[in-house]
Amino acid sequence: MEQLVSMGFSSDLAAEALTATGGDSIQKATDWILSHRSSPQTTTATSQPKLDRFLRPNSKTLTPAVNDDYGKRPNAKTLIPFVGDDSNKRPKLSSSSSHRQQHQPLSERMRPRILDDVVGQDHLLSPASLLRSAVESNRLPSIVFWGPPGTGKTSIAKSLINSSKDPSLYRFVSLSAVTSGVKDVRDAVESAKRLNLEGKKRTVLFMDEVHRFNKSQQDSFLPVIEDGSILFIGATTENPSFHLITPLLSRCRVLTLNPLKPNHVETLLRRAVDDCERGLSNSVEVDDSVIEFLANNCDGDARVALNALEISATMATARAGSGAVMSVDDAKEALQCKHLAYDKAGEQHYNLISALHKSMRGGDANAAIYWLARMLEAGEEPLYIARRLIRFASEDIGLADPSALTQAVACYQASHFLGMPECNVILAQCTAYLALAPKSIAVYRAIGAAQKVVKDSVGQNEGVPLHLRNAPTKLMKELGYGKEYIYPPNDPSSAVAQTYLPPSLLHYKFLEWPQDASDDLHDQEHRL
């Protein structure tokens, strides 16, 4: 929109043009303005320069001129090229794909324009869904889209406006938390308030990667969402519960997007192959095996699949020229390696370590090694995994196999000595050992119960009984410290009757050992 405004069009007119043309081409928006907002004084085609004139590479100089047609602003200045004797010649229009589109990635060119074009999110776009009802009634709520990359968060946000009964009622402003700040939000809000007062349009503020805003920056959305100055749509790949403030979540509906299934990605890839205007060039033939390979190896990320398809086409053309046939080898080279969804500090990190821990607890060494491999291939720090194995050795195995702790500590030390990739086998060996070892959580339950008693001040946390106290001085001995203490090695039979808990806690039993196996299993299932 900024480019249209810089050409002299009003912001309202620019927004209306982008909405009407889908928002993916400055040229189309300019043509729409010139065809729908022409002045009676304009009688010739040559007086209506299109975008190509503004961008003509052979333009020598640009001279300002005044044209009252642009956005109905009497004194708006626009730039018209001056090219000598040829200045009155109408320039040739570009092909169906604009100059700007030609340089966009395939994933951007193929972005769905309306909700019916979106695939793979049927739980959000069914006929009776919230979004469909909102579009039908022209009453959009504030929304936060949460899902993995390449699943359609931005596409759905833009398609909501284009699919509404009257797109002209809305002004879509797109910002990214990566490149924008509070000032950009304030500017958008001020513009929205002016439009609201004039009764023209409602502003939809789309904030991509909203989780990158800190708490104070997220606070800036609260009052304007509350008073209805804007309709807020946020997109995030991170769990909103961890990365978005509670007041913002209370003002928005959180809608979760799922990773795309292979058949959904295949639909998008075939659409890109068949679309002559926005898709791949017809000079490349795409084998079905290529589409199947990309659909199965992008981990549900349509952006990865589409961009890999475009790179594969480029490689095939460079190798064999026009009419080249794209092969699976091209796709493999374009994709380079398996795309793994993982974040070392986010939800996927904790999901995978949880899967590893629970697989070992359940005695499934096969699954445990798989989850270990997932973490290692995604770049997880091996010493972090080794520390978790040490914890598991005491928490879930404990007294059932005390040597498990020794194994886990040795695993950590060996992993520290070797590092990746050599320590992968060491981690796998320890993981398998812990998964197959007998399990006991008696110690885990015992320390938990004892800590609860201390925190709850059961027995008033009374002092240590006198016979258990140390008596290094004469005074302490005179006060009764250590009196009547029985030294077990000297008198084992008498020491059996000696108590070691405070008097008020003598009836408590924290460690149940040996334990009832069925009771231990029931407790483990409860923790799962």
State pLDDT tens for residues 264-276: 999 999 999 988 8
- Token pair recorded at residue 5: 């405004």
Query: In this predicted structure, what is the pLDDT of residue 124?
Result: 92
Query: In this predicted structure, what is the pLDDT of residue 91?
Result: 36
For 326-344, what is the mean pLDDT?
74
CA 435 to chain centre: 32
| Contact status, residue 437 vs residue 400, Cβ threshold 8 Å | yes
Query: In this predicted structure, what is the pLDDT of residue 59?
Result: 40
Give the tens place of pLDDT for each residue, 197-256.
877 788 899 999 999 999 999 998 999 998 888 899 999 998 898 899 999 999 999 999
> Pick from 175, 170, 174: which is nearest to 195 by CA?
170
Which residues make Cβ contacts (< 8 Å) with residue 32, sequence separation at least 6? 17, 20, 21
- Residue 455, pLDDT > 60, answer yes
For 451-472, what is the mean pLDDT?
85
Query: In this predicted structure, what is the pLDDT of residue 343?
Result: 58
Q: Which residues of 401-437 are buried (b: 16+ CB within 10 A; e: fewer)?
A: beebbebbeebbebbeeeeeeebbebbbebbbbbbeb
Residues recorded for the chain = 528
| Contact status, residue 327 vs residue 293, Cβ threshold 8 Å | no
Indicate the range of 258-262, 284-288, 452-456, 519-523 predicted with least confidence. 519-523
- Residue 361, pLDDT > 70, answer yes
More confident residue, 424 or 12: 424
Mind giving me the DSSP string for 130-166? HHHHHHHHT-PPPEEEE--TTSSHHHHHHHHHHHSS-
Query: In this predicted structure, what is the pLDDT of residue 338?
Result: 57
Indicate the range of 10-14, 79-83, 191-195, 458-462 predicted with least confidence. 79-83
Mean model confidence pLDDT for the chain: 81
Q: Answer whether 0.85 is exceeded by the pTM.
A: no
Taking the C-alpha atoms of residue 297 and residue 206, their distance in angstroms, rounded to an integer, is 30
Query: In this predicted structure, what is the pLDDT of residue 28?
Result: 74
More confident residue, 406 or 164: 406
Helix (H) or strand (E) holding 284: strand 284-286
Local structure of 525: helix, strand or coil:
helix
Residue 93: phi, psi to the nearest 5?
-75, 150
